[in-house]
Structures are given as C-alpha cells and as structure tokens.
Amino acid sequence: MLSRVADSLFWISRYIERAENIARCIDVNLNLLLDLPGEERQFEAIIQTAGCSRDFYHKYNNASSENVMHFLTLDEENQGSVISCVANARENARCIRETITLEMWMVINKFYHRLREQTAKEQMLNNPHNFFTEIKEFCQLYVGIQDGTMSHNAGWNFAWLGRMLERADQTTRILDVKYYMLLPDISMVGMSLDIVQWTALLKSVSAFEMFRKTFSAVTPQNVSEFLLLNKNFPRSVLYCVEHAQRALKKITDSQSTTNGEKSIRVIGKLKSQLEFSTIDEIIAKGLHETSDDIQLRLSHFNAAIRNDFFDCTWQI
C-alpha cells in the first residue's frame, strides 16, 4: 500500500486514541473534584502529564478546571486538544477517503462538526460528564466501525499499530498523573485519600471492574502492576506492546521485501523488558522514571516505523 496512506491510517488511530484519553483524564479529575471539594490542583496534574504546561501557562494564569477543560478540549490553537486531534484525524481521513470506508469517514466528519458547534463550550461546562462521555463514545464508535467495516489488511494493521502505540503511551501518562498529584502529607500514603486517587485512576482507563477481578486491594503496587504488566487488559502497556508487535508481524509477513527490521527489534526489546520485569523492580527504579523510559522507547519505535515504512529512501 502507498506509504502516505499507511502513514495516515496510523495517525488517524493515534489521534483518535489520544482524544479518547484526554477525555478520560478530564472526566476522572472532575469526579475527583466531587469527592474532594475545594481541590483544584488535580487539573494542574493533567497539564503536567499531557506535557503542555508551557503552552498552557502562556495563555492562562491559573489551572482552573474551566481553563484546563477548555484548553485540552475545545481550544483549536492547542495542537494537543481533543478538537485538534479530531481535526487532524479528519484531515488525514480526508486524504485517504478512498481507502477507508464511508462509515469511518462519516463518523469522524460528523464528530468534527459536532465539536465545532457554537454551543459546545457551554455544554461542556454545564454538563461535563455527558460531554466527555460523548467524546469517549465517539472514539470507541470509530474503533468499532473500523474493526467491523474495513478489511483486516495491511492498512488495518497499520491503524491498529498506531492505536496500540498511542494507547501504551497514554496509559503511562495517566499512571504518571498520580506522580504529580501530590498528597498533602507523606503520612497520607495508603490512607483513604490515596485510595480514592488510585481508584479514580483505574476508572479513568475503565479498568476498575477488571482490576477488581484480578486484585482485591487497591494499592499502588497492584494498580501499577495491572496497568503496566497485565497481559489481558486491553489498556495495559504490556498488552498494547504485544499487540503492536503482532500487528507489525502481520504487516511484514504480508510484504515481499525486508522492510521493518528496525521496528521489529525496537518493539521486541521493549516487550521482553516488560515481560520479564516484576512490579517491585519497577517501583524500586521509580514509577515516574519507568513511565518516562517507556515513553522514550515508544517514541523510538514510532521513528523506526516511519523510517521503515513511511519515509524510506526509495530504491528499486
């Protein structure tokens, strides 16, 4: 398939997955606010983990929930906002409309126009939970439509690869939210506030129910293990890395050439590292440091994919 088309499919998935995760992060923080009246600092944490605090403070004085919500959701000047993600996904989809199905295109296009409605901001502020649920549902609708209407060919595998890569990255970032979410006092570790925060974190990735079926106690170790190393939970980092590896294998198997060697190596290394680590080792090394390390390796993987498939030096 055309490199440009593969590139677009890959990025549509990444953008949509990113939009979903932003919505998840904000939604869970709003829930936390309800549990902890008067605490607005959680929104500071989201800005930190999204890696856009510089841009944010360039525009706003304080991380009030309204400012952060607008910046991360409807601010078209912020390249990392939900609306920018959907707009970018749509631009990519527009460039490859002949490759994707009409249903895939229509769901993105409709949602783009939905977010641009004049009353969107008002709706978001008046009924944030509904609004963010709508965003999450749109993203899942897209994934479902793609899965159910597009042939599971190389293009589909590039899309899946992009989704898994983005999701792995976002899960480490969500885990990192907790790092920035300082407790008022070190003695409060393991206390009810701490548990409330870890529970919120699980809920933000829709992991609470599945977590409960694996672990009984909400502890930092258990939550981290579940989100980093669980093999079956579809948003855990190991799961995503393993599925990215599978998608990559399907792509390389379908091709006559030897493209993709570097990508295979990079993702293979990351997978074995996760597979053969215990949560105690990770916590000893530092959860935040591990998250950073995973994000860095995922970005190397992204570069390898680009080099191997999207931007090769062309030889006959």
Residues binding other proteins (CB under 8 A): 1-6, 91, 94-99, 102, 105-106, 109-110, 113, 154, 158, 251, 255-257, 259, 309-310, 312, 314-316
Given a contact cutoff of 8 angstroms between Cβ atoms, the answer to whether 69 and 82 are in contact is no
Handedness of CA 306, 310, 313, 315 (dihedral sign): positive
The phi, psi pair for 277, rounded to 5°, reads -105, 150
Cα(first)–Cα(last) distance of the chain, in Å?
Answer: 16
Measured CA to CA, the distance from residue 224 to residue 201 in angstroms comes to 10
Nearer of residues 164 and 248 to other proteins, judged by Cβ: 248
Nearer of residues 163 and 235 to other proteins, judged by Cβ: 163
Tokens of 191: 């206390």
Nearer of residues 157 and 245 to other proteins, judged by Cβ: 157
- CB of residue 257 vs other proteins: minimum separation in angstroms? 5
Given a contact cutoff of 8 angstroms between Cβ atoms, the answer to whether 221 and 279 are in contact is yes
Tokens of 314: 């062309």
- CB of residue 308 vs other proteins: minimum separation in angstroms? 8
The phi, psi pair for 233, rounded to 5°, reads -80, 125
- CB of residue 86 vs other proteins: minimum separation in angstroms? 13
Nearer of residues 61 and 315 to other proteins, judged by Cβ: 315
- CB of residue 94 vs other proteins: minimum separation in angstroms? 6
List C-alpha distances in Å: 177 to 51, 56, 172, 180, 254.
11, 17, 9, 5, 39
Nearer of residues 4 and 59 to other proteins, judged by Cβ: 4
